[in-house]
Amino acid sequence: MSGLLVPAIVLTVKDVGEADRLVTFLTAARGRLTGLARHARRSRKRFAHCLEPLSRVNFVIATRRRGDLEFLQEGELIQAFASLRRDLPRLAAAAVLAEAAGELASPPEAAAPIFAALETALEQLEQGTPADSLLPACLVHLVQWGGYGLKLDICGACGGDPKPPFWFSAPGGGVLCGACAGGLPGPRLPLNAGSLELLRQAHQLPQEKLSRLRFPPLQGGQCLTALRLFLRHHLGRELRSWSFWDRVGRSPGSK
């Protein structure tokens, strides 16, 4: 074996050509990578149960690469997260978090904490943490690690202590005073005091403790809409996995 052993979380898998698979995966050292698993559909032994999105695996990748394309030599399954796969809301939350993590892990300093945050989140969902609470809480961490300062303690317009009624603005970087909201370009949305408090708690808690937080439906819906707006503003596009979440994950009462 001449390759490098790389701990990874599989993000997407696509069949290419006659027998190959193209895999995107998140790593702690280099963020999101793309690798070719040659003959993976014919010789399943080298990648036994490894090429499933969301699985935590160890890949052996060749030391040579072609441009941005890695060559996967073999893989070993570390954790399949079988329980979360049987629950659609938790599966959808995991899909959104994995896609967001892949998008946000490009600055070199972001890769390791984002990999750790996603791995912990998948474990928390696997252990049964409710999807509609862990999803907003973990997204707060991912956008912070990704380098997008989410302003929750100061108003994004006046820089002071935010005064109610609170608003959330993606171009404004986070929370705004009611009096300041009108002066900034949209989109923006109202944020009630409970929602703001939950976002602040999620921000302050270490990832391992996020499983304790519970977002009631109204607050969870507001926080998710705010974070979705924030991600779309910064990434320039909507994450594809939101459509899956919209079908299966949304709690009644959250719009």
- Return residues touching Zn ion (CB under 5 A): 155, 157-158, 177, 180
Closer of 131 and 157 to Zn ion (Cβ): 157
Report which residue's Cβ sits closest to Zn ion.
155
How far is CA 237 from each of CA 102, 217, 224, 231, 232, rounded to the nearest angstrom?
Answer: 14, 26, 16, 8, 5
- Whether residue 55 contacts residue 77, with contact meaning beta carbons closer than 8 Å, is answered with yes
Closer of 116 and 158 to Zn ion (Cβ): 158
Closer of 108 and 182 to Zn ion (Cβ): 182
Minimum separation from the CB atom of position 151 to Zn ion (A): 10
Minimum separation from the CB atom of position 163 to Zn ion (A): 7
Residue 187: asked if its preceding bond is cis (omega within 30°), the reply is: yes
Minimum separation from the CB atom of position 218 to Zn ion (A): 24
Q: How far apart are CA 26 and CA 115, in angstroms?
A: 7
Residue-wise burial string across 167-194, b where 16 or more C-beta atoms lie within 10 A, e elsewhere? bbbbebbbbbbeebbeebeeebeebeee
DSSP secondary structure letter of residue 250: P
Closer of 107 and 182 to Zn ion (Cβ): 182
Minimum separation from the CB atom of position 171 to Zn ion (A): 14
